[in-house]
Amino acid sequence: MTETRSDNVTWLTQEAYDRLKGEFDYLSGPGRKEIAAKIEAAREEGDLKENGGYHAAKEEQGKMEGRILQLRAIIDNARVGEAPVSADGEVSPGMTVTVSFEGDDEEVTFLLASREEQGSPIDVYSPKSPLGAAINGKKIGQKASYTLPNGRAMTVEIIDAVPYAGA
């Protein structure tokens, strides 16, 4: 198993990494100070049991701390920059993949990468999604089957797999 297919490694473009790092830096610095100030201001309003502002600020703080942990995990385990070199057309995160669905003539092309790659000019499928997990490690010409949320089985054929070239 290559490094890019590790459950812990997240392939990111430099742009996505920079955006996530900026969000992390803000939330873990100024963001924490802002929410602490909101909590303190609400606390000064009196009775905490019936203080909606205080409870809302505490809930916001919890969500923010969760996002900080999520971002830290992504950043710490990110493989940034160059897409993987294609090993004989083997599918791996960071590649643009084209598949055809069994029984359908239409081909679909997408980037196999972290959902954090939002803003990509093409659709992004997570390597942890049913389709992403099914095709990860397969080669051009191979077929892969996976189960849809409704329980139906779906088979795709890998038509092409090339390193993502960016926008």
The whole-angstrom separation of Cα 10 and Cα 16 is 11
90 in any annotated domain: no
Note whether 72 and 129 are same-domain residues: no
The whole-angstrom separation of Cα 106 and Cα 46 is 63
Could you give phi then psi for residue 116, rounded to 5 degrees?
Answer: -70, -5
Does residue 87 contact residue 65 with C-beta atoms inside 8 Å? no
The whole-angstrom separation of Cα 49 and Cα 126 is 42
What would the two tokens of residue 163 be? 């390193």
Note whether 100 and 75 are same-domain residues: no
51 in any annotated domain: yes
Q: What is the mean pLDDT of the chain?
A: 83
Judge whether residue 2 has pLDDT over 50.
no
**pLDDT score for 5:** 40
pTM: 0.62
Domain final position from 52, 80, 108: 80
Work out the pLDDT band at 166, boundaries 50, 70, 90: low
73 in any annotated domain: yes
Does residue 159 contact residue 99 with C-beta atoms inside 8 Å? yes
Sign of CA dihedral 57, 60, 66, 71: negative
Note whether 100 and 67 are same-domain residues: no
Per-residue model confidence as pLDDT tens digits over 25-42? 999 999 999 999 999 988
**pLDDT score for 1:** 31
Note whether 54 and 103 are same-domain residues: no
Q: Please name which of 27, 61, 32, 33 lies closest in space to residue 53, comparing C-alpha atoms.
A: 61
Per-residue model confidence as pLDDT tens digits over 29-77? 999 999 999 999 888 887 777 788 888 889 999 999 999 998 898 888 8
Domain final position from 20, 51, 80: 80
Structural domain including 154 reads 95-163
